[in-house]
Chain A
Amino acid sequence: MSPGFQGRPRSAEPALPPGQYLTQDFPVLSAGPTPKVPLDTWEFVITTETGAEYRWSWDELMALPQETPTVDIHCVTRWSKRDTTWQGVSLDTLLDGVDTGAHYVQAHSYGGYTTNLPLDDLRGGRAWVAHTFEGAPLPAEHGGPARLLVPHLYFWKSAKWVRGIRLTPTDEPGFWETAGYHDYGDPWREQRYQGD
């Protein structure tokens, strides 16, 4: 008990994941300088466990069917933001026709960032390569030109400046996961740190 602590008024809104609070802003969390990625050399690559590669240029990505998910996002630093609207290409579309027996992926980014996820979490209409935020091109500090969007996991899994995913037979910890954060990162189970 914290003597004299009342906290914010309890809300009748739909619950947030445990330990989260709502913000109207869009805070930035990155480990280093923001990479500037020109669109004419941008590409997204899926690499399978056998080394096969599937590549899309910016124009090829834009030519794929586009979706406009509206989702809540949850950052491990405890802010959540409701009803954010994005545009991008579903990972279902990108993974369609990719021949793999792998169960995990490591997403990698321009600038060197990595993060690991189970492949299943990128399927089923739950993950996108997103390039537009609230109707405008995604700003670089928020991961533009394109970032992964996997809103059912803590937002560090939604790799900014995404360049590709590597399909891996085993779960290989990425950047924050190696630094002590959880390998899966389910906000509803409050999986913030390794061991949670």
Chain B
Amino acid sequence: MTLDATPASTHRFRRNLARQLRIWSGVVIALVFLFPIFWMVLTSFKMPKDIFTTPPTFFFQPTIDTYVEYIWRADIPRRLLNTVIVSFGSALISIVAGGMAGYALARLRIRGAGFLGTLLLLSRGVPPIALAVPMFLVARKFGLTDKHITLILAYCTFLIPYVMWLMRGFFLALPKELEESAMIDGCSRFGAFIKIIVPIAMPGILSTLIFSVILAWEELLFALVLTNRNASTVPVAMAGIAGDTVNGANWGALTAVGTLMVVPVVIFALLVQKWLVQGLADGATKG
């Protein structure tokens, strides 16, 4: 008598097959998304003659000449510092303001809160170009062009509604009895928010912070319009390189600067990754 064809073994085979399929689907999707980045990094170490070979080559004599040349020519260190300042500055301000606004929308009984929230979200539907020019005029009027704070405030206009809606979702998922309990235990509403809700929502806050930093990090239009030299960011440098087509597109420089732009964000994401653990709220309530 053989047991190979029993329903249990068939079920086990199907379960294993489904698991393998899930794993390999994940691998394929990851490869599709990571390949352009891999290719960018690879190209950045190629000499111009190796960039457009047919077929494309994976093996070549690597060089850092492009990096050495463009780090200084495109003023990357200062621009990278500017990018760090404006992206983290705007993300932090947006997390504080948008987080508190999201909490208010999630918890407080405010007349018209839903409408207000929707209005703020709809503001994201306005094309940035329509805002960039008026912003430039306002900044020029106040003598604030080419300053970090101008770009930070400009970025806050699109980051705060984004943060507010994301954080609202996180706060809605937390039982309101947590802060009610804290308020009975001796906290004010704000105290309960800071001491109880913020630590519990930290994974959500950090993931929102990462997305906000990335959104600000890669922003080009406002940076192009509102900055000139002092507060200029890396995407502006990349736009400059891409626009310099006298001798054809400089792919080596573009990929080198692109790699320099990506590396800090990846390092930041890896650093905060351990804080992004989910399930911290497990055990808060019944279960």
Chain A complexes with chain B: no
B positions within 8 Å CB-CB of A = none
